[in-house]
Amino acid sequence: MKKYNVCVVGIGAVGTEMIRLLKKRNFPVQSLTILARSERTELVDGESYPVKVAAPEAFEGMDFAFFAGTEGAKGASQTLGWEAVKRGCIVVDNGDDFRMDARVPLVIPEINPEALKDHQGFIANPNCSTIIALMPLVAIHKAAKIKRLIATTYQAVSGTGSSAIKELEAQTRAWAAGQPLLREVYPHQIAFNLIPCVGSFKDDSGETTEEIKMRKETHKILDASIRVATTCVRVPVLNSHSIAIHVELEKPLSPDQARALLAKTPGVRLEDDPKNAVYPMPIQATGQYDVLVGRIRKDASVENGLVLWCAGDNIWKGAAQNAIQIAEELVARNWIKK
């Protein structure tokens, strides 16, 4: 098998998992280069990785560049992404700078791999919550067409990055010791609290940037006719996002029919036996390739309504894993354009 020169831009929470998953998934790596803002050495699972300064010339000779979008690297693709493409490198960007760019396919490989076919060297990873929500919804949409989607997310602090993980851990220790709970990452205490704001408020709509992303990305990936409403909430969970999803369908689809569809949907694992305490939980989803789905039931408030609950590893399937799967798809289909 042909091997490829690969670089990862950023070595925060997502970049670190990209390094792990490239190895775990046996991606055909000829060489691995880590790029960030400063030169140094980083340890990942006991192995030392030299980190070079991210600059246009660093992409010479590279086949794939994964932009992690963490550790200050968010926005790095804005400066360096197309520079890498100019040098013959395929960019897979975890950031949100180019998701709505008409030149850039926005891809979940299990859902819309065909969008990769005519890529121009730059491919975007969707938002983590969008990926986790759409993975179980695509089969339902194909079977009964979703008219309206209401999603409430319960998003782990790892979505903010490694500094947020440390803040939750430090606040929890401080609470147990009866000490003041210091905060730097979030505007409010996150330990033992919920913050109904993920992203920022940039207009007068009342929606956060995260909520807007979910609507726009659902339209680009799945179907622009779906009416989408979301509320995104940060919760005191270390890793893995959970989402409560209500869908209104054009055609009837029973919970049992939905279960049968989801049981054979690639990348989805059915965990739906609530009487025996079997349902998706973030602690269970962490470190899993699949999105877990359960609590499937009828929504009696609308005609042809269903409710489901899902959980997925936002750093794996919601970010690093999905990016690597995009590259795997390009290799498998021989859609690598140099």
Q: Would you name the residues annotated as active-site residues? A: 128, 241
- Rounded distance between C-alpha atoms, residue 125 and residue 128, angstroms: 8
Backbone angles phi, psi at 316, to 5 degrees: -85, -90
Nearest alpha carbon to residue 17 among 165, 147, 121, 136: 165
Cβ atoms of 36 and 11 closer than 8 Å? yes
* DSSP state, residue 24: H
- Residues whose CB falls within 8 Å of the CB of residue 64, separated by 6 or more in sequence, listed in order: 4, 5, 6, 7, 89, 90, 91, 92, 327
Q: What is the DSSP string of 231-250?
A: EEEE-S-SS-EEEEEEEEES
Residues paired with residue 123 on neighbouring β-strands, in sequence order: 92
> What size, in residues, is the chain?
338
Alpha-carbon span 37 to 11, nearest angstrom: 10
Coil, helix or strand for 90? Answer: strand
Per DSSP, 85 falls in state H
